Amino acid sequence: MSLSTSMDARSKTVYLAQVIGITSPIIYSSLTFAYSWLVVPPIVDHAPPKLLAKQWLQAYQAATGFVVPFVLSGTLANAALGYLSKSRNTKILYGVAAVLTWSIMPVTILYFEPNINGSAKWKVQKLLEDEGYTMKENERLLPYVDRQTGKPEARRWAATVDLKEIVTTWARYNAWRGIAPAAAALLSIGATSGLLDFI
């Protein structure tokens, strides 16, 4: 293998990492905002409680198909670009982009699942019990979308409000999760383009 072939392969790898490091957080952020502002309002406004329960649960459970791949690919791409960068400033920008993208996971696992997600899943089960719907308690280390994850306080709150309020609250909190990856994408764009080299 010649030196030029080796450099060409490295350039292609870096280019691919740049594309992934920018697009994964942007797509995740866009989908998060879309769920909160385009999917939830019509179902909250028009669906009766049992239909709302089924629609929210399906949308919530379907999201796992894109959250983990976009978060992991965006995090790994930006971390690799930071590692490979020669400029200290570019390393920092890519590094912060990686951390911001990754931050979705602990926020989801440690805050969303035991609180708002857990409240909604508990309320869904209560609304659909007469149809035979049940959800096992989560006994695993990590939360699963098909298991109950709500803390006792979250379940008590869910018992005092209707599902529309829970889902509206979920949408409002969920929209905030789109900010960190949007910022990560901007930092990755800045590092890739050199626009932020003055930092």
d(CA 147, CA 110): 15
Q: Does residue 177 contact residue 108 with C-beta atoms inside 8 Å?
A: yes
pLDDT tens, per residue, the chain with 199 residues: 444 555 587 788 999 999 999 999 999 999 999 999 999 999 999 999 999 999 999 999 998 888 999 999 999 999 999 999 989 999 999 999 999 999 999 999 999 999 999 999 999 999 999 999 999 999 998 899 999 999 999 999 999 999 999 999 999 999 999 999 999 999 999 999 986 654 4
122 within domain boundaries: yes
Question: How many domains is the chain built from?
Answer: 1
102 within domain boundaries: yes
- The predicted model scores a pTM of 0.89
40 within domain boundaries: yes
Query: Which range marks the domain in which residue 133 is found?
Result: 9-193
112 within domain boundaries: yes
4 within domain boundaries: no
- Predicted pLDDT of residue 11: 85
The set of residues, in sequence order, having a beta carbon less than 8 Å from that of 76 and lying 6+ positions away, is: 98
Helices then strands, counting H and E runs in the chain, come out as 10, 2
How far CA 78 is from CA of 72, 83, 103, 195, 199, in Å, comes to 10, 9, 13, 16, 18
How far CA 61 is from CA of 39, 55, 95, 146, 178, in Å, comes to 14, 10, 30, 7, 18
- Predicted pLDDT of residue 64: 86
1 within domain boundaries: no
Residue 137 in 3-state DSSP? Answer: strand
Say if residue 168 is exposed, middle or buried (CB neighbours under 10 Å; 0-12, 13-18, 19+): middle
198 within domain boundaries: no
Q: Does residue 28 contact residue 185 with C-beta atoms inside 8 Å?
A: no
